[in-house]
Amino acid sequence: MKKFFAVPLAAVFLAACSESTTAPASDLNPSYAKPVDPIVVCAGCPLVGDFTFEGGTTVSAAAGSTLGTELQTGAAGIADAPTVVTAPLGDQQFVGRFENTRTMLLINAPGSTNYYLNFDLYIIGSWDGRGKQAQQGAFLANVVEVGWRCTDGTSGTLLKTTFSNQYTVQQDYPNAYLNGGYKAGTGSIAIDALGYVDTPQLSHTPSFRSFGDATYDLTFSGSNPCGGAAVTFTISTSNPTQQSVYDESWGVDNIIVRAGT
């Protein structure tokens, strides 16, 4: 779907990729952790992937980047192409709803020196953030991890953090995992924009103390961790006691990948 939100806080430190104003960052850190000075990934920043999901299918506006999924449990290997779903409110479509701990979203990009990755992350249902604060500590943290993987098997983490949709439970974002203590929804660009709060038959939203969905705009930029070779960006969740899609799910929308020297 097309973006309809205001400019997110996490993206204000990035200038448009039209000309280089400063040297690229040395790694692909999230933009909120970067200096206030404008950071441009590369001169020209050609588009290699632009995924939107109107019409129920994945659409790439530029050649060079592909989208897929991988199973995190059970048999290893590539799963089916991401499923496009429609949100209850309006005609907003995105890939998901992924069940926590089961599916990893893969964004495959060609070899290049520098990268810019941006996407909307939808946190849907009764996410428990840092956990152990509600229901006498019955729930563990709900963790999201954005990472990278090279063809030689090396991998790393760009962001590992927690999100909460419950007023009484804190989250780590916009800080990293175990470094938070923020109220639910901190850093989001929209709350209840997808309409799950009003559709209890589709998603669990605890009455009077929770919202049904939160939208986060995440941006990463810097040098290619694979040394110029092809790179796969990964988005996944983890929690050994994670609940069902009805309780806790997630989705991704408006994926943009830029790359260059």
- One-character DSSP codes across 168-224: TS-B-TTS-TTS--BPTTTT-SEES-S-GGG-TTTS---TTSB-SEEEEEEEEEEE-
Q: What is the pLDDT of residue 64?
A: 83
**Helix/strand/coil for 9:** helix
Query: What are the backbone dihedrals phi and psi of residue 74, each rounded to the nearest 5 degrees, phi first?
Result: 80, -145
Q: Report the range of poorest mean pLDDT among 18-22, 31-35, 124-128.
A: 18-22
Residue 193 token pair: 């924009």
Q: What is the pLDDT of residues 212-261, one digit of tens each?
A: 999 999 999 888 899 889 999 999 987 655 567 767 899 999 999 988 87
Judge whether 220 and 10 are in contact, CB under 8 Å. Answer: no
Whole-model pTM: value is 0.80
pLDDT(91) > 80: no
Question: Whole-angstrom Cα distance, residue 105 to residue 252?
Answer: 9
Of the candidates 135, 131, 122, 125, the one whose C-alpha atom is nearest the C-alpha of residue 205 is 125
- What mean pLDDT comes out for the span 177-206? 88
State how far the Cα of 222 lies from the Cα of 29, in Å rounded to an integer.
Answer: 7
Q: What are phi and psi of 136, to 5 degrees?
A: 55, 35
Q: Can you tell me whether residue 55 is helix, strand or coil? A: helix
| Least reliable range by pLDDT among 6-10, 25-29, 93-97, 115-119 | 6-10
Residue 64 CA to residue 46 CA, distance in Å, equals 11
Phi, psi values for residue 94, rounded to 5°: -155, 170
Residue 4 makes CB contacts below 8 A (sequence gap 6+) with none
Decide: 219 and 7 in contact? Cβ < 8 Å: no
Q: What is the mean pLDDT of the chain?
A: 76
Query: How much is the pLDDT for 73?
Result: 62
Q: Quick one: pLDDT at residue 28?
A: 42
Residue 34 tokens, joined: 């970067």
| Lowest-pLDDT range of 55-64, 129-138, 143-152 | 129-138
